Amino acid sequence: MSPPVTRASSRLALARRKAAEPEPYSLRSRAPLGNASNVIGVHRAADEPRRHKAARVKDSAKTKHATAKPPSTENRSISEVCDTVKPVPHTDVCQDSEHLQKRADAPQAFSCLLLNIPDVDSADAGDAQMCSEYVRDIYAYLQQLEVAMAIRPRYLEGQEVSGDMRAVTIDWLMQVQREFKLRQETLLMTVSIIGSFLQNNPVTKKYLQLVRVTAMLLASKYEEIYPPTVGDFVFVSDGAYSCGDIRRMERIILKRLNYSLGRPFPTLFLQRACKVGQAGARERELASFLMEVSALDYDLVHVPPSLTAAAAFAASRRILGSGLWSASLQHYTGYSEETLAPVMQAVVRTLEKVSDQCKLQEIKSRYVKVSSSICKVDGFPSDLWRKDRF
């Protein structure tokens, strides 16, 4: 007669059955990785004193004049093995706080000390968004980038498109910018894309309008939060091209430029110059307008954006009588007054053409608007850009 089945006996039978059958791998209890490494470390630490003690007993049995062989890596502790490895020196990419502190306290160049040039970025040290620690490296990189993506002078020679047609194209793009309420950076980037594309890809007059609306479409996607659609550019071009034509030209421009649209524009460098020169609202507005005027001049297509921005800011200071080009501006922009003089003269000549006899309606309306807001008249007085000023 079999014994009665109770709860205790059933649990015991279940436990024996589980012990006899191996558990699946997923159900086995495993120690966490951190716990396992700690347990291994404890056992190693416990074995190390015994190894050292045994080594001392063997060494004492040898003669005193015998030279002891260095212990092998297997019998040495982890700390001793690590001590023999020379530390890797820190690089500029990865530095600890001590090295960064020493680098920050390092003296500046002797020219800065002799000229007593103030540090314009010291006030932004507490603001992480201003990137005061990297601002000089950023602008140095932008200057390298503008050299690598430079536009050669007079790149339209031998093409069907002339410099005057280019000026009419940019003036029309200014009207589109005003109608769509786009940023100034979008306009300047559009001019940069057109120049980079046309210098190696000649087009006929028939496709110049297609290139300009496609370039503004690319710049809007790059700079604007809500860029205009392809249908909007079809509308402003009076239906001369379809949406498919603009999309095909967009692919062509991107492939010919190797998708490199990051050529810096003068606005980035103008912000730096205005900060160093402590410019007011009138100087900023006039310098920004002079940058747009310089974009129309075909003779200035090869000028780097940093030089264009510095010349526009220096010309605005000369016109408004805000002061000369100081040593701080020369240090931070990298351009002396002698280097800026030819560009300033070219910008002023273009400004005179805009005021006297100009067929470009948009830039002329902007000229009247800027002059009325700065000088309270419909046009700058003629003595503001006298020849002896530049």
Do 227 and 284 belong together in one domain?
no
Please report whether residue 293 resides in a domain: yes
Whether 246 and 168 share a structural domain? yes
pLDDT higher at 66 or 246: 246
**Residues 296 and 361 reside in one and the same domain:** yes
**Long-range contact list for 252-258, CB < 8 A, 24+ apart?**
253/193, 253/197, 253/211, 253/214, 253/215, 253/218, 254/218, 256/197, 256/200, 256/201, 257/193, 257/196, 257/197
Q: Is residue 194 predicted with pLDDT exceeding 90?
A: yes
Average pLDDT over residues 90-96: 35
Please give the tally of structural domains in the chain. 2
209 belongs to a structural domain = yes
Which of 229, 256, 283 represents a domain boundary (last residue)?
A: 256
**pLDDT tens profile 17-70:** 656 655 554 444 444 444 444 444 444 444 444 444 444 544 444 444 444 444
For residue 376, give the CATH number of its domain: 1.10.472.10
Q: Are residues 385 and 271 in the same domain?
A: yes
Section 144-158 average pLDDT: 93
Residue 218 token pair: 């690319």
Expressed as residue numbers, the domain containing 342 is 266-389
**Which residues make Cβ contacts (< 8 Å) with residue 108, sequence separation at least 6?**
none
- The CA distance from 135 to 250, in Å, is 33
Within-domain flag for 313: yes
Domain final position from 232, 256, 280: 256
* 145-172: average pLDDT: 93
Q: Considering the domain boundaries, does residue 75 fall inside one?
A: no
Which of 203, 222, 256 finishes a domain? 256
* CB-based contact 285:373 (threshold 8 Å): yes
Q: Is residue 67 part of a domain?
A: no
Structure confidence at residue 325 (pLDDT): 92
Query: Does some domain include residue 343?
Result: yes
- Is the pLDDT at 259 greater than 60? The verdict is yes
Amino acid 201: pLDDT: 94
pLDDT at 379 exceeding the cut of 70: no
Mean pLDDT of the chain: 77
CB 156 within 8 A of CB 197: no
**What pLDDT was estimated at residue 101?**
34
Task: Kindly state whether residues 369 and 279 are assigned to the same domain.
Answer: yes
Tell me which of 20-34, 310-324, 368-382 is least confident: 20-34
Can you tell me the mean pLDDT for 261-273? 94
Q: How far apart are CA 46 and CA 55, in angstroms?
A: 15
pLDDT in tens, 196-230: 999 999 999 989 999 999 999 999 999 999 999 99
- Tell me the C-alpha distance between 208 and 198, whole Å: 9
Of residues 19 and 339, the one with the higher pLDDT is 339
User: Looking at residues 258-281, what average pLDDT do you find?
Assistant: 93
Task: For residue 312, give both structure tokens.
Answer: 């526009």
Gyration radius (Cα) of the chain, Å:
36
Which range is least confidently modeled, 6-20, 175-189, 314-328? 6-20
Answer whether residue 358 shows pLDDT above 60.
Answer: yes
Q: How confident is the model at residue 71 (pLDDT cuts 50, 70, 90)?
A: very low
Q: 346 lies in a domain? A: yes
Among 292, 368, 281, 346, smallest CA distance to 320 is for 281
pLDDT of residue 138: 93
Same domain, 349 and 328: yes
Question: Which residues touch 208 (CB under 8 Å, ≥6 apart)?
Answer: 161, 165, 169
In a domain, 16, yes or no: no
Mean pLDDT of 325-339: 93
d(CA 340, CA 94): 39
Q: Tell me, what's the pLDDT at 369?
A: 87
Residues 207 and 174 in one domain: yes
Examine the domain organization and report whether 175 and 234 are in the same domain.
yes
- Ranking 109-123, 306-320, 347-361 by mean pLDDT, the lowest is 109-123
Q: Point out the least confidently predicted range of 11-15, 238-242, 287-291.
A: 11-15
pLDDT band of 277, cuts 50, 70, 90: very high
Q: Are 315 and 243 contained in the same domain?
A: no
One-letter identity of residue 119:
D
| Whether residue 340 is found in the same domain as residue 242 | no
Write down the pLDDT at residue 62.
47
- Predicted local confidence at residue 123, as pLDDT: 86
Residue 353: pLDDT band by 50, 70, 90 thresholds?
A: confident
Are 290 and 239 part of one and the same domain? Answer: no
251 with 274, same domain?
A: no
